[in-house]
Structure 1
Amino acid sequence: MTALAQSSSFAITLIEDIATQQYVVRAVDVNAKQFNHRVSFKQNERIEDVFNSVLVETITTLLSRINQENMVFSIPDKIIETQGLILGRLRMLVTQSSEGMRNVIIRFAHFIGHFQNAFTARFGFDSALEDQKRVAETALFLDISSPILNIISALTESALPDGSKVSLETRLKQLHLDTEEFRFYLELLRRHAIQSADGPLHSVTPHRQRINSAV
């Protein structure tokens, strides 16, 4: 996996009391390039009291799919969009302890934007809008990266005639293997740039051409 693919993640830990069949939020772990942050709760908090309505709906749907005591469930192409926050590469891990407590970890391998927007207002997280420079940089990154990925794909789909270019071909093929993850991450960036441009920072026009991907 590329360094870009490992740059951020957002994980939610839930526990269920088998007797009451009620899930509560144990913790939220945010891992970004610049920091690691863990939000834990001193008392049992209901899902709907912690997260915004979009995430509540997503989590509720995922929990309804649990049909084993221990299981792994993933939707790698799933993208969750909420105001100021884009999450992608979904994976859910379910385990059950000998005491009958079920533990559920819902992890998004990528997030773009302000993680504070995942929470309800009652927790007091501030969420300042990105400045115009950051939105412009994102749009520029999209404009540059998309054609580069297309060139890599084209080069690796055809054989290089010169035998002296074997090393280059090997490196290009490795880049080709990474393009799926890059394309997915670029799709998250694209959606976040559009969100930002449609808000108060409307003067910045992001690259709106859809990136070829499975999403």
Structure 2
Amino acid sequence: MSIRVLLVDDQPLVRAGLRVLIADTPDLVVVGEAGNGTDAVRLARDAAPEVVLMDLRMPGTDGIAATRAITAQGGPARVLVLTTFDDDEHVHAALRAGASGFLVKDMAVDEILAAVRVVAAGDALIAPAVTRRLIAEFARRPAPAAARRGLDGVTDREREVLTLVGRGLSNAEIAAELVISAATAKSHVARLFTKLGARDRVHLVIAAYDAGLVTPSS
């Protein structure tokens, strides 16, 4: 079945372009469009999309507030931010609001469509340039409490998985790298969430850096 996508952007031309791209993609289908955050929240509830492609700067209710409201609804919709504004303030605000991914509009079309599939599958994805900045920033900060506890109780295989998460790989990519099933990779990530007290995938990236498994240069 096709992945149901809701397009949210205050520029009709941007929505039209995305709609055309998705129309040419057999496994994706647009189920609604919104030009502001208020309509986005309503359509996320009524149209039951699996992925919401969300702009940030819009009149009225902006993308951050809309993301927070959509994720609070508890429905199937996962928010994938697609914006021209990739400064740290917007990245942090979007992730805190519950976004499952953060992309910039100058990325290749194939990368954007692939990201929709990744997020629909339950993974999180952040543009590589943004991930590098996040890691570099955390490198300058004191280690959080979760990191100070170290990796006690984490198995060797889970450590491998954590390293790959820190490098920005999705569950499917981790499975391919380690030659395991996607379900096994997902189980390892789930156990890491529990063992490290991580709220989301970004926190696992932080833990991987603080444990020395990845560095800003990697």
Report the TM-score, using the length of structure 2 for normalisation. Answer: 0.28
Query: Which structure has more strand as a fraction of its residues?
Result: 1
Higher relative contact order (CA 8 A, sep 6+): 1
Report the TM-score, using the length of structure 1 for normalisation. Answer: 0.28
Structure of greater Rg: 1
